[in-house]
Amino acid sequence: MLDLSQLREDIKTEAARLGFNHIGFAPSSPVPHYQDYLAWVEAGFHAEMAYLARQDTLEKRGDPSLILEGCQSIICLAVSYNQPETTLRAALPGEGRISSYARTQDYHEQIMDMLKQLESFIHSRVGSESQLKSYVDTGPVLERAFASQAGLGAVGKNNCLIIPGKGSYLFLAEILTNLPLPPDQPFTSDLCKNCQRCIEACPTACIQPDHTIDASRCISYLTIENKNTIPDNLKDKIGHWLFGCDVCQMVCPHNARPSKETPSVGTPVLPEFLELTQLFSLSESSFKEKFNKTPLTRPKRTGLLRNAAIVLGNQKGDHALPIMENVLKNESDPVILDACGWAVNQIKQNNSANQDLRDD
């Protein structure tokens, strides 16, 4: 007879050995906050991420047994990553900032390898009785809702999972299983209460009052998932962010003290700030070689050059003007041309304004 309580403890021990910092267990049904998710999609807050609203994925998010037949439990896991090294100071002229999570090699591969090892461990204990399906931020699973249901923490107003005493610099993962593992008690405390810091600090006002995000205004979406031009009314809100954004986490009181947990996703391979003008000399092949196996390949060369041009436009530095004008002459991609044209106008308008002040 399989002792599920003992198996649960063995899984926790092995997960910790593999480098997972937190683990909890939740029943697969009912799916927590599913109706809230449907309302979020209906409001169009998923922006151009059509995969979030496809009928098949909507159904799977509401019923994990459509992903794994006979699914009964969700093993929820979290891995800490390094917090930003510097404050919210503006980048130096000519530099763009990278979100802290993106400075290591791609976390998907690293954590999936850990999950596969944990799967093998479970199979070794249970044998053919166990059916398992793992995801790292890629499957149709409401992972933050399940993580809270599994007792890990609460979803903050900025839509990040917050673990008391540990903060929110976390990667989430889960294993769906047909094993009826004893669940943890759901986390029910409100960790945000009357705090408004993330809402007030968000440069684009993308944080909604119901613990959700309007992705179409979020800097992380605009600079990573968005494959098109960035709207003119949001370009200046991008500030110095070349890739992603950490503002809402950096101002969160739960991240005020550096976590003492050891990240399991490796040491940084990219600096916090990248020199921007050099990016425009990268060919498609050199771009892939420079950022190979890092998250910066996700927006592709087009997206990263778009972002770099917008940051340079926000900084209004004269040194970038000839580079942007050269790009306008030699590039054909409309997304890059839009961003560079905007940047050139910003720099010239700034120069004109400064000249008027000198003339006065």
Active site annotation includes 137: yes
End-to-end CA distance of the chain: 89
CA distance 103 to 123: 33
Contact 354, 316 (CB under 8 A): no
Q: C-alpha distances in angstroms, 326 versus 223, 263, 281, 323, 337? A: 23, 42, 11, 5, 11
Q: Which helix (H) or strand (E) holds 275?
A: strand 273-275
Q: Tokens in use for 26?
A: 């939740």
In order, the DSSP letters of 41-108 are HHTTTTTT-GGGT-HHHHHHHH-GGGTSTT--EEEEEEEE-PPPSS-SPPPPTTEEEE-GGGGSS-HH
Sheet holding 95-98, edge to edge: 241-243, 95-98, 273-275
CA–CA separation, 119 and 129 (whole Å): 13
Minimal CA–CA distance to 320: which of 290, 272, 278, 353? Answer: 278
Indicate which residue of 137, 210, 232, 236 is catalytic: 137
3-state secondary structure of 329: helix
How, if at all, do strands 170-177 and 22-27 pair? unpaired
Structure token digits, residue 210: 């119901």
Both tokens assigned to 158: 């900025």
Report which secondary-structure segment, H or E, holds 161: strand 161-162
Q: How far is CA 284 from CA 94, 102, 180, 276, in A?
A: 22, 20, 49, 16
Active site residue ranges: 137
